Chains A and B, each alone.
Chain A
């Protein structure tokens, strides 16, 4: 496939990227073309969740997604500012709960939690939310503090 231009709205900025090869993964476009290194590369095979971003509000493994598949979409990454209210709330909950150690899984987890809450709402059953995080691996925390962060977000339901 010949390289062709790609249009994305990333964290509120319209990006026109020339010459993106057909097989390029969204993960690589974000990290190496747009220099948004906050999105982490772990396994590149869809097994760890470190590369999770939001595409049109839904959580997406950017290592398994071709950039051109999401041409024209809105992509949200961990670098997004506080104007993205849900992500900001998830960040605050992770901070309060101490839900990170090395921090390598953290961007993926934050985006996965934000995607999940966006989709199912903060009033969704706890089990359902936790099950939705089964694809995100963390080797450091034993997930305990991450679960506490999710609980903080749940109890915020008005």
Chain B
């Protein structure tokens, strides 16, 4: 199928779309970090004098924070600069602004720092060489501990026909948005103003306010076009630094990261170890024990949502009588953990799918049949006691199996075909608001999210607005506002745009159509249509051009206004199953099953994916072109995580492969043909029953590739990524 032309194609193909890196304000200065040269140590001295003596250079360090900070958070992890102690390599010690990039670099080089090294914890497995004991909670290395249980786990394990235990390891992966973080800050009177490439202007405002100890109302955040986010641009990062430099110098300040810094400082998925134990009796899973050690870098205790949230994706989507799950967030000397497209869920799916396929093989059962027969269905309950909503994963799995059978029948020798599945909770997160403005010729949707590329705003929200008003798509205009004028929205993350803002648009549209009907002297909602470029309204017996129904004030304001808001209803889990820490309910149950055909080089172990098919439950598909594009892109990103992507941290806490040459994302030639099919009929919480689709496509990919690889050559690889080396090792070629 051909996708519909994207509404943003024009500016992006003309080169006129302004991204964060393109921002250019007359007289602006260029900023740079002074990075910590080691990963852990006590700062003996930080001498900024030589740098400050350079012409046109301003340097701000920890001692200057008092000039800007109110009673703000000043703990180690949240502080803008290392405070007395360095806790990860390249942690900012100070920040400089200079008339050019070159002069900024020279200023950074002129800073003299002396640091007494302290022992480094680089690898989470050195913290707990064995599983954490009962005293682990007291360890300063534990940022979070979650524990839940249900049923008679020990009895089930004792009475099982077979117990299968395995350990899996997954690598750190980076978002690799092609555009590095970039912003320009200015002080305009009393207003701290920053334009930035972000997934969440309101999130940046909130974060920056808390970091600088200034009220949110004095900060205005304006978005730009975003050159990819994938979770990496969800909260403030460079903005507070650019703002304090702008404040100190009285000049606009541009702060953009180089790509190496982007890798080194990026907050992303870090390594993990998972132990899986499964008890099987009469071909059924009776009990599971799941244990997780998740590296969270220097994330602050209590601020880590990753462990309790991510572990949820190790618990499904399969039925189990009894289970016990325990996870630890382990602190190491790395930058804090941060979200990466469906944070940690692809890794969870890899572990769950590979393990259950392995369990089936151990029992001489068919791996696909074994998994299919245990899949969650709507109306059942999750292991944490939440009722499962509309969920198309089993239907997707069946479609995937049928495709796999057909591919197997025609596969060349040495090729392997595998099916993997995965799920994600979409439409999550805090709420959103929109304002609709219906004028004589067009409908404006005013909102606070920028289109980050997925199409969820410009294609998705425009499609919703068109559908709920009956106006054609070309009459709908999406208008972004900065945080001073746009209605509040928490941002583009959690596959939530369509669910939250789509529902808010629905609500506002109903209000608009009611008001228009009233003005026609009728009840209910007016029907809107377009004739010779003018919007007409019809209700009851009457029909009129909209322009005649607006007051003079409304004409001046561009139209009739209505607001809509949507806050996702909270869901519940059964707290009696939780022994420690915080677990989270799922919002929309969004599932997918994928099929991969791979061939493995018998000498090197290199895996090549030959073709790929993706079956997705996305509820009601709102924009077919954008939906297909999301799946294609998500699968490609997942293939990177499956095969080549691995951020490698050395023993001294250094990111070894901080560049696109060594950290290998897929190139054009490495992506197989991908077919995409949607399984409809499982309604989500979004408008018309839509579910979010930004994140789910990446989730099943590493699992699917791993299962296909085992089918192709017998290699059971328990680590991600499935690099040639790891496959070769599993095949005992190395």
Instruction: Spell out A's residues near B (CB within 8 Å).
Output: 31-32, 35-45, 47-48, 50, 77-79, 91, 94-98, 100-107, 110, 130-131, 133-148
Contact = CB atoms under 8 A, between A and B. Distances in A.
A21 to B, nearest CB: 9
A78 B14 contact: yes
Interface in B1-56: 2-6, 8-19, 21-22, 24
A134 B667 contact: yes
Contacts of B455: 101
Interface string B210-230: 000000000000000111111
A104 B674 CA distance: 23
Contact of A142 (B4, B16, B452, B671): B671
- Which of B178, B226, B629, B673 has the most chain A CB atoms inside 10 A of its CB? B178
Contacts of A97: 2-3
Contacts of B228: 101-102, 104, 139-140
A142 B5 contact: no
B636 A143 contact: yes
A98 B633 contact: no
A45 B661 CA distance: 9
Which secondary structure dominates where chain B touches chain A?
loop
Closest 4 CB pairs of A and B: A38-B15, A102-B453, A142-B636, A104-B227
B637 A102 contact: no
Contacts of A140: 228, 453-454, 633
A39 B637 contact: no
B16 A103 contact: no
Contact of A47 (B19, B629, B661, B674): B661
Contact of B13 (A48, A95, A102, A147): A95
Interface string B438-474: 0000000000000011110000000000000000000
Given A45-B259, A137-B660, A103 B8 contact: yes
Contact of A101 (B14, B179, B454, B666): B454
B569 interface: no
B668 A145 contact: no
B179 A44 contact: no
B416 to A, nearest CB: 22
A38 B24 CA distance: 13
B176 interface: yes
Interface of B: 2-6, 8-19, 21-22, 24, 176-180, 225-230, 258-259, 452-455, 625, 629, 632-637, 659-661, 665-669, 671, 673-674
Which secondary structure dominates where chain A touches chain B?
loop
A134 B669 contact: yes
A37 B661 contact: no
Contact of B178 (A39, A78, A110, A138): A138
Contacts of A42: 178-180, 259, 660
A144 B666 CA distance: 12
- Which of A32, A101, A107, A145 has the most chain B CB atoms inside 10 A of its CB? A101
A48 B228 CA distance: 14
A139 B659 contact: no
A135 B9 CA distance: 22
B3 A137 contact: no
B665 to A, nearest CB: 6
Contacts of B629: 98, 101, 141, 144-145
A134 to B, nearest CB: 5
B674 A144 contact: yes
A92 B666 CA distance: 26
11 contacts: A36-B15, A37-B15, A38-B15, A40-B21, A44-B259, A47-B659, A94-B9, A103-B8, A107-B15, A139-B665, A141-B629
A37 B24 contact: yes
Contacts of B636: 141-144
A142 B661 contact: no
A37 B2 contact: no
Contact of B5 (A35, A98, A138): A98
A116 B669 CA distance: 16
Contacts of A145: 3, 629, 632
A143 B11 CA distance: 20
Contacts of A91: 13-14
Nearest to A21: B102
Contacts of B667: 134-135, 137
Given A43-B259, A140-B633, A104 B13 contact: no
- Which of B3, B659, B674 has the most chain A CB atoms inside 10 A of its CB? B3
